[in-house]
Amino acid sequence: MSANALATFRLVNENLRLVLVRLRPEQTQCSSIRARDFSNILAQLQRGAECLRRPPSASPEDADFEAQALAFRAQLEQLKRILPDLQIRLLAEKTRLEAARHRLASTANWAEARKNTL
């Protein structure tokens, strides 16, 4: 594996580590999570998979590659544990926002009706 590919693998692992920090279950605010975050996760997973598909050539970097591969796999396991909880939190946030939108629309309708009766 070239030094450039190994650097890419390191960058993928660092990016996934940062994503996992943002998505951890202790974070109760889902409003900071955007669709582009999921696109970024997918891109990082694809880059990491590509790094794994390139077999390393015999070199002193083999140990570093193995360490990066283990880190990548560990982060995949963390994503596997975190994503179902995240889905539940996002659905709860969606329900909360829909209820707030409904209350706001009802209030606006009431205010308009009240204005028309006066």
pLDDT per residue as tens digits for the range 64-85 = 888 999 999 999 999 999 999 8
Q: Is residue 109 part of a domain?
A: no
H/E element holding 56?
A: none
In a domain, 94, yes or no: no
In whole angstroms, what is the distance from residue 90 CA to residue 64 CA? 37
Residue 70 belongs to a domain: yes
**Helix residue ranges, H only, the chain:** 3-23, 35-53, 62-117
User: Residues 47-59: pLDDT tens digits?
Assistant: 999 988 876 676 7
The tokens of 63 are what? 């140990």
Q: Is there a domain that residue 62 lies in?
A: yes
User: Whole-number mean pLDDT of the chain?
Assistant: 86
Domain that includes residue 59, residue range:
3-89
**Residue 36 within any structural domain of the chain:** yes
The amino acid sitting at 78 is: Q
Q: How many domains does the chain have?
A: 1
What is the reported pLDDT for 30? 66
* Span of 5-14, 29-38, 76-85 with lowest mean pLDDT: 29-38
Q: Is 118 inside a domain boundary?
A: no
Q: What is the mean pLDDT of residues 88-105?
A: 93
State the CB neighbour count (10 A cutoff) for residue 44. 20
Q: What is the pLDDT of residue 11?
A: 95
* pLDDT beyond 60 at 1: no
- For residue 115, pLDDT over 90 is answered with no
Which residue, 29, 18, 8, 23, is CA-closest to 83? 23
Q: Which residue has the higher pLDDT, 48 or 118?
A: 48
Residue 83: inside a domain: yes
**Tokens representing residue 47 in the block:** 């880059």
**Cα separation, 57 vs 10, whole angstroms:** 17
Does residue 99 form part of some domain? no
Distances in Å between the Cα of 63 and the Cα atoms of 30, 49, 57, 66, 67 are 38, 18, 11, 5, 6
Residue with tokens 């990066």: 68
